[in-house]
Structure 1
Amino acid sequence: MPGIRNTGIRAALFTVPLVIGLLGAAVTPAGATPPHPVKPLTCRGEGVDPDALVRHRTETVIHAPLRTIWKLQTDVERWPSWQAPVTRVDRLDHGPLREGSAFRWTTPVPPNPVTPATSLDITSTVEQLKRNSCIRWTGPAIGEGLHIDGIHVWTFTKVKGGVRVSTEETHTGPQVDANVPFATEVLGQGLEAWLRDLKTTAEAQAARSH
């Protein structure tokens, strides 16, 4: 509610650029979906919706310090500064993002086979979080003629030369369930775009610090 962000929708969901925040094994470049993940991503033992028809998982290696990547991802009020599809974010609590934190964010949805052009309002609640390791949020995304419940999981793993960032998100709701292939394509595009933006921004910050 990623997360619809609950998931986000991230980009939610239908983010743009078909946009695009609630959705293998080895490192999968952004833009590719692991064909047969061995098991879903989890944060403190909790993952995405196992029964959801709409889901996407992807990952990439970001060549930047973990602290830089984690700050970008969890300083949600600054998302609009590096993610064009996110037009506004409001924290519903204060302090560092933690379990129980909630935030409301907005992203446009272009006209598509499922709904007319609309603005998606997403309320995400952090359900699980382990600093510098993982985060899972859930929540509804609501727009004209559109209601999506999402679950979004992110994991951050140090690897040689950087950090492997993995993400998985699922969406449920009458509109997305009515056109699973299209909804899955949009979700995938949103998550891939999010990862690209995160990678580009984190690596640029890392380069400037040297």
Structure 2
Amino acid sequence: MRYEVSTVIDAPVELIWRLTADIEDWPAFLPTMQRVTRLDAGELRVGSTARVKQPGQFGAVWTVTRLDPAREFTWETRRPGLRLTGRHLLEPAGAGTRMTLVLDVTGRAAGVASALLGGMMRASLRRESEGFARRATTTV
């Protein structure tokens, strides 16, 4: 199953990219994140890992699988019977940025997970999109 939300944020791509790449700061402005702890040092790169704790969920280790600065950040985690792939896609939209957040849920348990949690997943993507937009307007 694929969940996707796209919004135009009144901020330049460079700013939205900085917010996106600073994953350890996400809990400060994303209500969908309680803790994000990098498990490696240095700049975010393909292969980087982080332990993510979200409300109502067990912690999970996410691994960066694709990184194209100022354009795309993709990472994934696995749960029994599931693979979750999260994507942050950025593109210029006039003076602002179109941010598209995608969550792909695959694996033998994807149908059941989507039936039980699909609404929550859609709502989480909307809340994350809103969080990035709010943070961008308060960051100079």
Fold in common (TM above 0.5)? yes
* Secondary structure at 1:186 match in 2: helix
Runs of 4+ in 1 over 6 A off after TM superposition: none
2:3 alignment partner in structure 1: 56
Counterpart amino acid of residue 131 in structure 1 = P
User: Which string of whole-angstrom CA distances, capped at 9 and with x for unpartnered residues, describes residues 48-101 of structure 1?
Assistant: xxxxxx221110001112221111111111111111231111101111111111
Question: Larger C-alpha radius of gyration, 1 or 2?
Answer: 1
Q: Name which of 40, 51, 56 aligns with 1:93.
A: 40
1:77 alignment partner in structure 2: 24
* Structure whose residues are more often strand by fraction: 2
**Distance change (3 Å), C-alpha of 1:133 and 1:202:** same
1:120 alignment partner in structure 2: 58
* Secondary structure at 2:46 match in 1: coil
* Secondary structure at 1:93 match in 2: coil
The question of 1:198 aligning with 2:132 is answered: yes
1:151 alignment partner in structure 2: 85
Gaps of 5+ in 2: none
Gaps of 5+ in 1: 1-53, 110-118
User: Is the CA contact (8 Å cut-off) linking 1:126 and 1:137 kept in structure 2?
Assistant: yes
2:53 alignment partner in structure 1: 106
Comparing both chains, which one has the higher relative contact order based on Cα–Cα distances under 8 Å and sequence gaps of 6 or more?
1
User: Is the CA contact (8 Å cut-off) linking 2:84 and 2:104 kept in structure 1?
Assistant: yes
Q: For the residues of structure 1 that align with 2:78 and 2:114, how far apart are their CA atoms?
A: 18
How high is the TM-score relative to the length of structure 1? 0.61
Task: Kindly report the root-mean-square deviation, in angstroms, between the aligned alpha carbons of the 2 structures.
Answer: 1.9
* Structure whose residues are more often helix by fraction: 2
Aligned-pair distance for 1:179? 5.3
Aligned-residue identity in percent: 25
* Secondary structure at 1:73 match in 2: helix
Q: For the residues of structure 2 that align with 1:148 and 1:82, how far apart are their CA atoms?
A: 27
After TM superposition, the structure 1 = structure 2 runs for residues 13-52 of structure 1, keeping only pairs within 5 Å, are none
